[in-house]
Amino acid sequence: MYRRKVLKDKHRIVVKIGTSSLSYPNGRMNFHSIEKLSYVLSALRRRGIQVVLVTSGAIGVGAGRLGLTEKPKELAKKQALAAVGQAELMKIYQKFFGEFNQTVSQVLLTKDVVTIPSRNLNAKRTIMKLLEMDIIPIINENDTIATNEIEFGDNDTLSAIVASLVEADLLVILSDIDGLYSADPRTEMSAEIIHTVPEITPELEKLASGTGSSFSTGGMVTKISAAKICTNDGIDCIITSGSDPSIVFDILEGREVGTHFIARNEKLLNHV
C-alpha cells in the first residue's frame, strides 16, 4: 500500500482512453464519459499537472458519422473512416474541453516517431512546448497513412511510447477491465485483482496472455507490454477501468485502484 504514495507526487502524466470508455456497446458516443474525462483532465491541468491524452475511437466515430452499423474489416475503409472520425473526435474534444476553458491540440503520430530520430525529436519538442503552454495535447495514431493496421499494435503501445517520449512520470491506461487479475474473472470465481506488480515477470506475461482466449482478447497482453515499456523507462503505470474517468483523481491520491506496475528505477532506489 505504501508504494502508492509515490503517485501523489506526479507532475507529468499520460492518460490513455480506449474506445470502450468513449462509447456505448452499441458504438454510439458516450458524451457523459467524454465530458467527465475533459473535466478531470482540465482540473489536473489547473493543479499544475501536465497532462497528455492518448485517445482511440476515430474509426468508431467515423462509422457513426457515416451511419454505418458495423465497423468495416477492409484496411482502406478503416483508414477512410479514421480520417472522417478523427476530425469528428477532435471536434467533440474541443467542445468539451472548451467548456472547462482548456485549450487542446491534435498530434497524429506514426511509427516513424520511433524509427526516425528527427521525427522523434520533432514530436517530443512540439509536445513539450504544448505542455509548457498549458495545452493538453490529444494524441492518436495517424491511421490514414499507416502502412499496416498494426504499426503500433494499438494505442496501448502508442501511449507507452508517448509516455517515454515526453518523459512522463505516470501512464494511466483506462480500459474496460479494472486491472490485472490472478485468473480470468469471467470464468474463475477465485480470480482476484492484483493491485501491485513490482516486476513484470515471464509468469505474469503468461498469466496475461491466458490459456482461455476470451481473457486475452480483453487486450491485457498489449497493456502488459505497454506497462513493460514504461516501467523499464522508469515510468509508473496504472491499468484500471475507464467507466468513470474521475478514477484518475483516486489514483493521484494514492488510493488502491487498478493495477500498479512499479517503475523500475524507483524500485532500485528503494533497495538502496
183 is a contact residue toward another protein (CB under 8 A): no
Query: Residue 141: which of 72, 207, 78, 187 has the closest Cα?
Result: 78
109 is a contact residue toward another protein (CB under 8 A): yes
90 is a contact residue toward another protein (CB under 8 A): yes
CA gap 180, 238 in Å, rounded: 10
- Give the H or E element holding residue 261: strand 259-261
CA gap 78, 62 in Å, rounded: 9
142 is a contact residue toward another protein (CB under 8 A): yes
CB of 7 to another protein, least distance (A): 28
Nearer to another protein, 34 or 135 (CB): 135
CB of 96 to another protein, least distance (A): 13
248 is a contact residue toward another protein (CB under 8 A): no
All cell numbers assigned to 46: 489547473
Query: Residue 85: which of 68, 60, 104 has the closest Cα?
Result: 60
Query: Residue 111: which of 143, 84, 136, 74 has the closest Cα?
Result: 143
In the chain, the N- to C-terminal Cα span, in Å, equals 20
41 is a contact residue toward another protein (CB under 8 A): no
How many of the chain's residues bind another protein (CB under 8 A)?
Answer: 45
CA gap 107, 174 in Å, rounded: 20
**Radius of gyration for the chain, computed over Cα atoms and rounded to the nearest angstrom:** 18
29 is a contact residue toward another protein (CB under 8 A): no
Nearer to another protein, 85 or 242 (CB): 85
Contact 177, 21 (CB under 8 A): no
Q: Which stretch binds another protein (CB under 8 A): 116-124, 166-174, 217-225, 234-242?
A: 116-124
Q: Which stretch binds another protein (CB under 8 A): 34-42, 43-51, 137-145, 208-216?
A: 137-145
Residue bearing cell 520533432 = 122
Binding mask 46-85 for another protein (x = CB under 8 A): ----------------x--xx--------xxx-xx--xx-
Residues interacting with another protein, by CB under 8 A?
62, 65-66, 75-77, 79-80, 83-84, 86-88, 90-91, 93-94, 103-110, 112-113, 118-119, 122-123, 125-127, 129-130, 133, 135, 137-138, 142, 144-147
